[in-house]
A and B are shown apart, each in its own frame.
Chain A
Amino acid sequence: MPLVDIDLIIGGPQGGGIDSAAQIVIRAFSIAGYEAFGIREYYSNIKGRHSYFHVRVKETPVRSLRYPVDLLVCLDAESPFVHMEDVSDKTIVLYDEDLGNTKIEQVLTMESETKKHVLGKLKEGGFGTTIAGAIDFMKKRGAVPYPVSFRNLVVGALGPNKPPARYANTLGASLAMALMGLPAEFTSGGIVSVFGKKKEVVEENEKIVKSGYEFVKTRNNVNIKELPVREAKERYILTGNEAIGIGKVIGGLKLQTYYPITPAADESFFLEGHDYFEPVMGEDIDKENEVLKNTGVVVVQAEDEIAAIAMAISGAMTGTRTATGTSGPGFSLMAEALGYAGINEVPVVVTLYQRGGPSTGLPTRNSQADLLFAINAGHGEFARIVYSSGDVPEAIDDAIRVFNYAEKFQVPVIHILDKNFANSFFLVDPLDYSKIKIERWKLSENTENFERFKLTEDGISPMGMFGKNIIWLTGDEHSELGHITEDPETRDAMMVKRMGKLNTILREIPEDEQVELIGDKNADVTLLSWGSNKGVILSVFEKLRTEGVKANLVYVKLMNPFPSRLVSKYLSNAKVLIDLENNYTAQLATLVKQNCGIEVKNFILKYNGRHTTDDEVYEGIKRVLDKKENRVVMVRGA
């Protein structure tokens, strides 16, 4: 068993520096040689509403979170109320004692529905309806309250003229790390790592760290064991959005288009901040080419998602690696153009970050409900690839891979991701470039009558591009030259050419890139899942193994064309098969039934928009195995 396995929640107002607090925590632990993972939860709001960061720290790689947490840091009045069920007898609850008498009715940021639910629970247990009441609620569960006057500590550190609220985030993070036993020098290291060049900010925050650590020393109600320092390595701290951006840039992205939408826009925003850089051209070229000393990625904020995909499609037809990134509502708008990319066999990448739908739905919350839509969006029938990634390390590789697929097979690729992935933080080792492969289109001699849509055995024609070949593209059915035709025989031939690519794709994409079987070969229980649930499931498997339960995961990445043969093979030996997804209708199970004829009968599902955690997956599997329940709905998360 690992010595260190700490779950932490830092909750506070949106815009109150919760992000920085989490960054400080993760960076500080990384510098001390630990592994960390986190997910950010937030409202669709700029300032004031409750957001929180859920982080886990271990000595070994972390890829999931769990409830109850070991440390709950409440930076606002709402946190004690909405997280009061996230604690156990092992939890320290750090809160601002000056807010103790705040009544739930006074917490304006809280939604009335949430207030009603919390009030019900407080009253049921005979607790008061103030923060003190919520603290009592947690005390009854064995949690240890840790009251702190934020105001006193900030005034003590920086004098009376600084607004305490501005430093609540660093103070909360410092107190938390002091309570976890991380030596103060690493917390300061985290501060420097986050605030970097802003000297004044670093100095002020280091004072806050100091006062936090000193305060913890004076209190004896919590037993603190200093964490051993481990050997650290250089690592990158990356969110899912950033991992995709990095993968794209390394893969050769030169034009990215987007229209602002959560949670996709963070990727384009990140790219805009890293769009001009020094390429590594190799010895000879470095010397010769002055003009290539720098290179850029053009990132364009379009007027809407239709324009974004239209620009990306035509840009791709110049031989440029282009992509667009969006989420549900934006993807809905892209449906028509997706068909255009389909009939014109355009190598364009659409990065789709799923969020809660339908319509505006839960705009900042997680979902995996767009899988069938991604596969079917657009009228008519055309070949496309839908490819899924579930965590940051694989996403970097996959973002490169999907460009390769798009160009090699000349099809639009939808890279399907989810909000949990997008807003998760991972620590990643530097890349090994020798393992990265960039594969591009098939080319041919430029002839006088260049046939952009030449009929071939495998359905793939030589790529034609603007600036190089005389090509015609049209959304109409077309001839090999690309001119409109309604000739029935040509129509048949073109349909066979385009749709035939689906077989080419299944034949040529290596099996381990299509679907992975992870875990014990002879398992007692088999899970079927995709996307960001991978880490949680594998983490739960470790626990199951200690109980003598052998488990494996059929982790599907290629969603279209569906790897029916492989999935059938992996599922055919399942003793108990459970589908786990973040949607209501079990869309992956639907795909399996449709493509493999295998009916999944057990489901663990979640659609409340919050991240899936170890405890609820564990409980779900147990309920299926022991209580023979066949549909478990996971409901955790504030």
Chain B
Amino acid sequence: MAHNYRTDLWVDWCPGCGDFGILAALQQSMTEMNKKPEDFAIFSGIGCSAKTPHYINAPGMHTLHGRVIPFASGVKLANPNLTVIADGGDGDLLSIGAGHFVAAGRRNVDMTIIIHNNGVYGLTKGQASPTLARGEKTKGLQRPNILDSLNPVALALTVGYTFVARAFSFDVKNTKDIIMKAVKHRGTSVIDLLQPCPTYNDINTKEWYEQRVYYLDKDPSWDPVVKEATSEASEQKYLQAIQKSLEWGDKIPLGVLYQNDFVPSFGDRIADHISNYFEVPPALSPIINSEGQPVARMEKIFTDRLIKK
């Protein structure tokens, strides 16, 4: 029987929370990927979304606020055989962890980042997150939000993410499909996952989104994939995606906005230098030899520090 990736924990999100859809889509996509549970490593930051790994029956790490990306990167660097998915809130990834979000675009570690984008800090009672528009006054706020919102898709494109998509958590099937594509991409993929918070965000609700979202792939002329390894080819798709990322309000596009498979992943870049990196990654590399002694020897490695007689 296929693994359904459910744990027997009670899922303690509020009724109607958008996170349920993301969890279901994740579990379904993992089942469809047809791997062993041990082949996955699921990461999260802090907050409501951060409980996700506990609800998935696969190895998981619930990390620190803002630090989900470096934690996820560390496992992938040490063992590139694993499929790594990192779930973070919008505050987690775009405020306290924004530096890591930017660095991840430059690094292109082969993993998937899911932004649980709901405009608020739910678990601390609804403060404004970086994706809430200025002037909006959600339920938990004393006054309208005085900070401008940032555009996660445009930010991701600008800092070099090689796969950028958007999904809506109440469309579980489409979300699952996008997760599958994102995981398949060799490089860092990021999904801006619109995820209503029914308790604290009374503006960007399920209904609000349902009236606005549309699917890019319904338009046969929409093609986000860079076709050749030239700067002209990637620039054209990049500009198209940037333009699309500005569409927010009456209409909100869903789907893959940009995909460039020609940028070497961080692992590929390491393997340029350490050629057996994928065959014998750090986690599987022996450190003791058949005689029980260290395999690394000064006289083989540090000869430039040797003073001959």
Q: Residues on A close to B: CB < 8 A? A: 27, 30-31, 193, 196, 232-238, 242, 246, 249-252, 254-255, 257, 274-285, 291-292, 294-298, 300, 302-304, 306-308, 310-322, 336-337, 340, 400, 427, 430-431, 433-434, 436, 438, 465-476, 483-484
- Which one, A233, A320, A336, contacts B64 given CB within 8 A? A336
- The stretch from B13-21, B70-78, B194-202 touching chain A is B70-78
Q: Decide if B247 is an interface residue (CB 8 Å cutoff).
A: no
Contact at A484–B54, with CB atoms within 8 Å?
yes
- Which one, A193, A252, A285, A467, contacts B81 given CB within 8 A? A467
Cα A308 to Cα B100 in complex, Å, equals 11
Closest to B50 in A: A474
Assign chain B's interface to a size class: 35 or more
Contact at A295–B295, with CB atoms within 8 Å?
yes
Cα A431 to Cα B145 in complex, Å, equals 64
B107-135 residues at the A interface, CB under 8 angstroms: none
**Residues A236 and B307 in contact in the complex (CB < 8 Å), given A278-B300, A484-B51:** yes
Contact at B99–A193, with CB atoms within 8 Å?
no
Contact at A285–B289, with CB atoms within 8 Å?
yes
A405 to chain B minimum Cβ distance, whole angstroms, is 16
- The stretch from B207-215, B219-227, B229-237, B270-278 touching chain A is B270-278
Contact at B78–A315, with CB atoms within 8 Å?
yes
B8-50 residues at the A interface, CB under 8 angstroms: 9, 37-39, 41, 43, 46
Contact at B305–A310, with CB atoms within 8 Å?
no
Contact at B51–A298, with CB atoms within 8 Å?
no
List chain B residues, Cβ under 8 A from A235. 306-307
Closest to A231 in B: B309
B48 to chain A minimum Cβ distance, whole angstroms, is 13
List chain B residues, Cβ under 8 A from A313. 71, 74
Cα A487 to Cα B81 in complex, Å, equals 36
Closest to A235 in B: B307
- Which one, A280, A322, A468, contacts B78 given CB within 8 A? A322
Interface of A, helix, strand, loop or mixed by DSSP: mixed
Contact at B60–A475, with CB atoms within 8 Å?
no
Q: List 12 A-B contacts (CB under 8 A).
A: A196-B304, A236-B306, A254-B282, A254-B285, A280-B300, A282-B290, A285-B286, A291-B276, A294-B276, A314-B73, A340-B63, A484-B54
Cα A246 to Cα B297 in complex, Å, equals 9
**Residues A27 and B307 in contact in the complex (CB < 8 Å), given A306-B70, A315-B75:** yes
Cα A431 to Cα B277 in complex, Å, equals 28
Q: Decide if B61 is an interface residue (CB 8 Å cutoff).
A: yes
List chain B residues, Cβ under 8 A from A249. 296, 301
Cα A279 to Cα B64 in complex, Å, equals 36
List chain B residues, Cβ under 8 A from A466. 41, 59, 61, 75, 79, 82, 283
**Residues A472 and B61 in contact in the complex (CB < 8 Å), given A238-B305, A255-B78, A292-B280:** yes
Closest to B104 in A: A303
Cα A315 to Cα B71 in complex, Å, equals 8
**Residues A254 and B38 in contact in the complex (CB < 8 Å), given A193-B307, A285-B289:** no
Cα A333 to Cα B73 in complex, Å, equals 19
List chain B residues, Cβ under 8 A from A316. 78
Contact at B38–A469, with CB atoms within 8 Å?
yes
Contact at A430–B305, with CB atoms within 8 Å?
no
- Which one, A278, A297, A304, A317, contacts B99 given CB within 8 A? A304
Q: Decide if B57 is an interface residue (CB 8 Å cutoff).
A: yes
- Which one, A296, A298, A307, contacts B100 given CB within 8 A? A307
A266 to chain B minimum Cβ distance, whole angstroms, is 13
Task: Give the most central of B102, B277, B279, B296: most A CB within 10 Å.
Answer: B296
Contact at A467–B79, with CB atoms within 8 Å?
yes
Contact at A467–B276, with CB atoms within 8 Å?
no
Contact at B290–A281, with CB atoms within 8 Å?
yes
Contact at B286–A292, with CB atoms within 8 Å?
yes
Contact at B59–A433, with CB atoms within 8 Å?
no
Contact at B307–A30, with CB atoms within 8 Å?
yes
List chain A residues, Cβ under 8 A from B297. 250, 279-280, 431, 433
Cα A340 to Cα B50 in complex, Å, equals 15
Closest to A467 in B: B79
List chain A residues, Cβ under 8 A from B81. 467
List chain B residues, Cβ under 8 A from A465. 283
Q: Decide if B249 is an interface residue (CB 8 Å cutoff).
A: no
Contact at B54–A474, with CB atoms within 8 Å?
yes
Q: Decide if B152 is an interface residue (CB 8 Å cutoff).
A: no
Cα A196 to Cα B304 in complex, Å, equals 9
Given A280-B289, A318-B75, 10 additional A-B pairs, CB 8 A: A233-B309, A236-B307, A254-B282, A281-B290, A295-B276, A303-B102, A430-B298, A465-B283, A466-B283, A475-B46
Closest to A322 in B: B78
Q: Decide if B255 is an interface residue (CB 8 Å cutoff).
A: no
Closest to A232 in B: B309
- Which one, B82, B290, B291, B292, contacts A467 given CB within 8 A? B82
Contact at B282–A318, with CB atoms within 8 Å?
yes
Q: Decide if B67 is an interface residue (CB 8 Å cutoff).
A: yes
Q: Decide if B308 is an interface residue (CB 8 Å cutoff).
A: yes
Contact at B293–A433, with CB atoms within 8 Å?
yes
Contact at A474–B308, with CB atoms within 8 Å?
no
List chain A residues, Cβ under 8 A from B64. 310, 336-337, 340, 475
List chain A residues, Cβ under 8 A from B296. 249-250, 252, 277, 279-280, 295
**Residues A472 and B282 in contact in the complex (CB < 8 Å), given A281-B289, A311-B70, A321-B287:** no
B278 to chain A minimum Cβ distance, whole angstroms, is 10
Cα A400 to Cα B207 in complex, Å, equals 59
Cα A241 to Cα B46 in complex, Å, equals 36
**Residues A471 and B59 in contact in the complex (CB < 8 Å), given A249-B296, A307-B103, A317-B75:** yes
**Residues A237 and B307 in contact in the complex (CB < 8 Å), given A280-B297, A307-B103, A318-B75:** yes
Cα A246 to Cα B296 in complex, Å, equals 9
A140 to chain B minimum Cβ distance, whole angstroms, is 40
Contact at A285–B67, with CB atoms within 8 Å?
no
List chain B residues, Cβ under 8 A from A234. 306-309
Closest to A483 in B: B54
A236 to chain B minimum Cβ distance, whole angstroms, is 5
Q: Decide if B58 is an interface residue (CB 8 Å cutoff).
A: yes
Contact at A282–B289, with CB atoms within 8 Å?
yes
Contact at A298–B270, with CB atoms within 8 Å?
yes
Closest to A431 in B: B298
Contact at B290–A285, with CB atoms within 8 Å?
yes
Q: Decide if B299 is an interface residue (CB 8 Å cutoff).
A: yes
List chain A residues, Cβ under 8 A from B79. 318, 320, 466-467
List chain A residues, Cβ under 8 A from B59. 466-467, 469-472
Contact at B307–A303, with CB atoms within 8 Å?
no
- Which one, B66, B71, B283, B306, contacts A254 given CB within 8 A? B283
Cα A418 to Cα B276 in complex, Å, equals 36
List chain B residues, Cβ under 8 A from A436. 293-294
- Which one, A291, A298, A473, contacts B60 given CB within 8 A? A473
List chain B residues, Cβ under 8 A from A277. 296, 300-301
**Residues A274 and B302 in contact in the complex (CB < 8 Å), given A292-B286, A313-B71:** yes
Cα A295 to Cα B302 in complex, Å, equals 14
Closest to B82 in A: A467
**Residues A320 and B295 in contact in the complex (CB < 8 Å), given A314-B74, A472-B61:** no
**Residues A295 and B298 in contact in the complex (CB < 8 Å), given A234-B306, A427-B307:** no
Q: Decide if B53 is an interface residue (CB 8 Å cutoff).
A: yes
Cα A276 to Cα B274 in complex, Å, equals 6
Closest to B44 in A: A474
Closest to A304 in B: B99
List chain B residues, Cβ under 8 A from A296. 270, 273-274, 276-277, 282, 285
Cα A340 to Cα B61 in complex, Å, equals 11
**Residues A251 and B274 in contact in the complex (CB < 8 Å), given A236-B307, A238-B305:** no
